[in-house]
Amino acid sequence: MNLSSTSTLGRGVVYETRIPLTWKPLKVLPEPSQLLSLNDHNETVLRTVLSLEEIGSEHSEEGGGSNQELVRIEAKVNLVLNLVGQLLATQSTIPAKVAAVLSATSLEWSGGKLPADGQPLLLEIYLHPSYPRPLRLVGTTQSGSDPEGMTCRVTFQGLSEPVQDVLEKLIFRHHRRAIAQARASRDTH
């Protein structure tokens, strides 16, 4: 499996990045009551990350005096959130970043020690540097290799519809940004 090409085919929009990630093997996948708790946690994390990413971008295209004041206040709030996030990150143990491809149904990564094939896992993914609270996903692994080394793919299990919807929004937003940055980079050259 190659993270940047063939492994992402047929899975829709994906988010390719380097992301702090850790995993823990599970003996069995969680019970429905545990999945309900995980889904509640994940929906909160995803909605918070989406709102953090919206700060400052919402009003950037509009003009006007009161709008400029709102943008200035949002910039200050963003600064405070970044500082608090950095403080929390120094007190938390954030795992090392790995090359990863996130879709609404799975995650692939390479680097570091990888789990055994078919192993149920609990993944912890840190999506935003100002919010050091992990997204916790469960699934089963599929390991493979590519010319650059071993990769692991975890297919998510037990995601609620609201969690999957918000995850899709986040992935689409990052995919759209990557396309815009690629176009801007191409236009400046």
Cα distance between residue 29 and residue 49, in whole Å: 26
Distance from the Cα of residue 158 to its chain's centroid: 17
Q: Which two tokens stand for residue 189?
A: 């050259």
In this prediction the pTM is 0.77
Per-residue pLDDT of 101-146, as tens digits, reads 999 999 999 877 888 889 999 999 999 887 889 999 999 998 776 5
- CA distances (Å), 105 to each of 93, 147, 160, in order? 26, 25, 11
Strand partners, 145: 150
Per-residue pLDDT of 148-189, as tens digits, reads 667 899 999 999 999 999 999 999 998 888 888 888 888 886
The dihedrals phi and psi of 122, each to the nearest 5 degrees, come to -110, 115
> Which residue has tokens 């236009």?
187
> Which residue has tokens 């999957």?
164
Which residue would you say has higher pLDDT here, 122 or 3? 122
Given its phi and psi angles, is residue 128 left (phi above 0), alpha (psi -120 to 50 degrees) or beta? beta
Per-residue pLDDT of 57-83, as tens digits, reads 544 444 556 777 877 777 777 677 767
Distance from the Cα of residue 120 to its chain's centroid: 20
